[in-house]
Chains A and B, each alone.
Chain A
């Protein structure tokens, strides 16, 4: 093809695009040929793969695009695809009546630009020129990146000018590609030694990470045999690593923020979506699993309580305790629980769990952002949850659907027992209890959902747990303590349900305990959070405060 023809072809592109069509099926080949002609391409056809290979090898500039069938007798279509792609670097489109994704995948893996199904339609053929453009653009981009690196090769340029040209665009690409290849051969592999890396870091610090440009860094580093390109790739890796770390950190913060956000939305569905991918609506029926579900609360609430509130104030090393810090979502471990127990309420439990996790967040709204991102992996949490889930079958024995379901709301005694049975001391529980009592008396009827109450109650307990655990330098990092908690919770709830039932009557339990309790909890948490710094400094004060609050809570 002469230069003029080449230029003409480019001007009218995609008209006149030269296509090589290969198919052993004569019917299809004929149809394909006609279709391509209708698209105004220049078509060469053959029914033998070998012929096609020879044709394309004969003159590498002869064709712009190859369309080849998959099943051919003399050569595997994929093999042809590879050879043409490698040797001639031409875009190859596969054609087949195999609609099996396996074949499509194979085609893609062998380097096909596209995979068309028979019977091929003219609409599809009208767009195949895009592959030619894309390929040439890609080649051009690749060469531009390294073009600056390679030195001028004027004599070679002259030689290349004498070559036959397909079209100016592609010829240019080929030149640059060759330059790039030569450039690559010359550059020796650079190994980043410790000193070099330190220099790199110093340079980056000096300019600032945002202004870190390879050129500047290179100048500052002042190392021999180091090119801008080496620095650029090293910088990229450095940035990626940084990004990874900050993303992980951001995720933690975002989770905390999202928790509070969802709580504000007062919608469990949001929570479900957040923590699960399928939101689980919380309905009253789900409370029937209440007994069982509440038993899950302790450890989760621990984590929940710990998560937003404590983490920010505590020194980081504390977080590395056996997994009390909540990392990511606890729901995978909870799902393990589903397996372990036969309780039908577990699916709902999971959603409740999410709500529980959120509950502390609501209270600690203002303090969410300060939560530290350095959470230890929740692997240990999982382990503990699994250990603890083994205790769950017991819950079935104890479950009294409705009554137990309400335990969460108005279990003043519940909390007390709970705390007493642990190493925390009664103060935390008592404090919670006092708040609950206050709420009951307040008798505020806000349109809160049962779920919210559930959340708040458990959150309360969780927070206590968390607080206490942290401040006492984590108690019970082992499953044993959790088991105790679970057991104690079980007994508490039974008792409290009875107590509440007697005192307030069925209806009263719900209304009174619901709102009053929730309010108290909120107030309590808010106070706790605002005082947390003070409290941590004066740990001895915490105990006394909790004791005081618990005594207050206990009073009806």
Chain B
């Protein structure tokens, strides 16, 4: 049982580290994790679900704006990108944030092709991250179910 827990914990630790190393997450995520305590045990999960909901909404807005070929309101797209950038930086979604920075420049340049391509990338990226974090939460659940404590992963 303990071995199983230990194994799960090891798996969890490695997984988290890989997420950081692959650039999916950054320090802000660590900060977020540190805010989670006994008083708010699901804080990270809560924030992330809010984040992904925002992603869906914003990407949808941008897709709609870009769909209006010929009368694309780049300001609107830019505003959405800006918001997405803010959220992603707040949760520590590093790759999404990076894409948003590029996206913003493309919007300012009113590069339609570029914007469309970037939006597709953003879409893929946030969905990937969502899947990965879902796996992470599942691991946590498994650990807890196995009677262990979710380890604090030290990112250095």
- Interface positions of A (Cβ within 8 A of B): 24-28, 30-31, 34-35, 38, 71, 96-98, 118-122
Contacts and interface: CB of A to CB of B under 8 A. Distances in A.
A126 B83 CA distance: 25
A38 B89 contact: no
Contacts of B92: 119
A280 B45 CA distance: 63
Contact of A26 (B32, B54, B89): B54
Interface in B17-51: 28, 31-32, 35, 40, 43, 46-47, 50-51
B84 to A, nearest CB: 9
Interface string B36-73: 00001001001100110110000000000000000000
B134 to A, nearest CB: 17
Contact of B91 (A27, A96, A122): A27
30 contacts: A24-B83, A25-B54, A25-B83, A25-B87, A25-B90, A26-B53, A27-B47, A27-B50, A27-B51, A27-B54, A27-B91, A28-B87, A30-B46, A30-B50, A31-B47, A31-B91, A34-B47, A38-B35, A71-B79, A71-B82, A71-B83, A97-B85, A97-B89, A98-B82, A118-B86, A119-B89, A119-B90, A120-B90, A121-B31, A122-B31
A97 B82 contact: yes
Interface in B71-129: 79, 82-83, 85-87, 89-92
By Cβ-Cβ distance, the 3 closest A-B pairs, closest first, are A97-B86, A27-B87, A119-B90
B83 A31 contact: no
A355 B97 CA distance: 57
A43 to B, nearest CB: 13
A96 B82 CA distance: 10
B107 to A, nearest CB: 14
A121 B35 CA distance: 11
B51 A119 contact: no
Nearest to B34: A122
- Chain A CB count within 10 A is highest, among B43, B86, B92, for B86
A28 B35 contact: no
Contact of B40 (A26, A34, A71): A34
Contacts of A35: 35
Nearest to B89: A119
B90 A118 contact: yes
Contacts of A25: 54, 83, 86-87, 90
Contacts of A118: 86, 89-90
A92 B154 CA distance: 36
Contacts of A71: 79, 82-83
Nearest to A123: B31
B126 to A, nearest CB: 12
Contacts of A120: 90
Contacts of A27: 47, 50-51, 54, 87, 90-91
Contacts of A97: 82, 85-86, 89
A31 B92 CA distance: 12
Nearest to A28: B90
Contacts of A96: 86
Contact of A31 (B53, B79, B82, B90): B90
A25 B82 CA distance: 11
A460 B47 CA distance: 79
A444 to B, nearest CB: 68
B40 A28 contact: no
Nearest to B54: A27
A34 B39 CA distance: 11
Contacts of B31: 119, 121-122
- Chain B CB count within 10 A is highest, among A24, A28, A119, for A119
A24 B61 CA distance: 15
- Chain B CB count within 10 A is highest, among A34, A96, A120, A121, for A34
B89 A30 contact: no
Contacts of B91: 27, 31
Contacts of A31: 32, 35, 47, 90-91
Contacts of A38: 35
B35 A26 contact: no
Nearest to A118: B86
Nearest to A98: B82
Nearest to A23: B86
Nearest to A122: B31
Contacts of A30: 46-47, 50
Contacts of B83: 24-25, 71
Contacts of A98: 82
B68 to A, nearest CB: 19
- Chain A CB count within 10 A is highest, among B32, B47, B53, B83, for B83
A21 to B, nearest CB: 13
Nearest to A29: B50
A28 B92 CA distance: 11
A507 to B, nearest CB: 66
A119 B51 CA distance: 14
A27 B28 CA distance: 13
A417 to B, nearest CB: 67
A75 to B, nearest CB: 14
A35 B86 CA distance: 16
Nearest to B48: A27
A34 B86 CA distance: 17
Nearest to A73: B79
Given A34-B43, A71-B79, A122-B31, A26 B50 contact: yes
Nearest to A26: B50
Contacts of B47: 27, 30-31, 34
Nearest to B79: A71
A413 B41 CA distance: 95
A133 B139 CA distance: 47
A69 to B, nearest CB: 8
B87 to A, nearest CB: 4
Contacts of B86: 25, 28, 96-97, 118
A31 B29 CA distance: 11
Contacts of A28: 86-87, 90
Contacts of B85: 97
A24 B50 CA distance: 12
Contacts of B35: 31, 34-35, 38, 122
A121 B54 CA distance: 21
Given A27-B54, A120-B90, 19 more contacts: A25-B90, A26-B53, A27-B87, A27-B90, A30-B46, A30-B50, A31-B35, A34-B43, A71-B83, A97-B85, A97-B89, A98-B82, A118-B89, A118-B90, A119-B28, A119-B31, A119-B92, A121-B31, A122-B31
